[in-house]
Amino acid sequence: MLTERIVRDDPATRCHMGGCDCHKQNKNVHCPVHNDTSPSLSVSTKDNGRGILLNCHAGCSFDDLLRHFRPRVTPEMAPSRSQGIKKTTSVTWSELKAAKGWNMSERTANSLGIYNSDYYGRPCVEFYYYKNNKHIATRLRIALDGDKFRWKETKPNLALNAALYGQQGGSRSSALLCEGESDVVTVWDAIGSHGEHSAFGLPGVGVWNEEYLCEFFQSYKKIYVWVEPDIGGTKMINNIRNSQLRHKCELVFLNEYAVDWKTYLRLEAMVNRMLPQGKPVDGETNNTDVTKGATFDINSIITRTRN
């Protein structure tokens, strides 16, 4: 974790010029991002020492400052309280890229607000959330599997603030809505961030704000909804079932079968007749979430649409 002491002890923030106040307690230090001959970087702690405030009065961004200081943070500097995260938990951009089969370069990822970072001294990947071209939140991918995500500092109220990842991409007449940052990056990797469709991701299907999403997608003529073959896909469909956006939606299954909402309802009714009470036939996995109102199995839908 970056601390005020790390910043003040950094060789790039202090000089040995007579009369300079950069070495004095509570005084500004030299900014390491630009050629700072007169100390312009103010640094202080917040939240009882659990956070840090950096402000370059010459205008250098907070993100650029963090990228300079991150290499100075070592595992030994990390706090002993790790919020239940295993010491082996970590992931880098290269590891995530290899696991997902992406071709995107790290430089391109950085231009889209994706960076290598650290979480309690362990490597992680951070994804920036934007609204109106302003960075308003950061989500951390701390592992490839299992307990994978954390919000940086305090979890933002995304349902009211920015419920979708990917707003740094281009705006088109049609959109692809999926679950999570990785799916959005997969689309960008395949067709580019300014490709034929805009790609947006919910940070979990539990983050669904009807009023916000209806306003956000008002100008879009069509929304392609990426349906995962698991419980998340079931929840996504149930969100759309009760949404005013459903007339714009076409559901895209992983076998590249796309159907509009009315056609989907007919398929769902067919599967419900074949699989009473959501019970799968032999050889199919039941991912039904009955408590969320699902009466079908996503895998069953996919299997039937292939035939």
Q: What is the pLDDT of residues 15-47, one digit of tens each?
A: 766 678 887 778 898 888 888 888 889 988 765
Q: How many domains does the chain have?
A: 1
Flag whether 192 is in a domain. no
Q: CA-CA distances (angstroms) from residue 129 to 148, 153, 222?
A: 17, 14, 23
Q: Which is nearest to 125 in space by CA: 75, 76, 185?
A: 185
Flag whether 9 is in a domain. yes
Q: How far apart are CA 194 and CA 188, in angstroms?
A: 8
Q: Report how far Cα 58 is from the mean position of its chain's Cα atoms.
A: 30
Flag whether 128 is in a domain. no
Flag whether 41 is in a domain. yes
Give the pLDDT confidence of 241-287 residue by residue, as tens digits.
Answer: 889 999 999 888 765 566 777 777 776 776 666 554 544 444 444 44
Give the pLDDT confidence of 90-140 residue by residue, as tens digits.
Answer: 899 999 999 999 999 999 999 889 999 888 778 999 999 888 778 888 889
Residue 66 belongs to domain spanning? 4-73
User: pLDDT higher for 230 or 88?
Assistant: 230
Cα atoms found within 13 Å of the Cα of residue 94, Cβ hemisphere only: 1
Flag whether 34 is in a domain. yes
The angle subtended at Cα 274 by Cα 270 and Cα 275, nearest 5°, is: 115
Flag whether 37 is in a domain. yes
Indicate if the pLDDT at residue 185 is higher than 60. yes
Q: How far apart are CA 57 and CA 33, in angstroms?
A: 12
Flag whether 243 is in a domain. no
The angle subtended at Cα 179 by Cα 90 and Cα 105, nearest 5°, is: 55
Indicate if the pLDDT at residue 222 is higher than 60. yes
Q: How far apart are CA 175 and CA 196, in angstroms?
A: 9
Flag whether 124 is in a domain. no
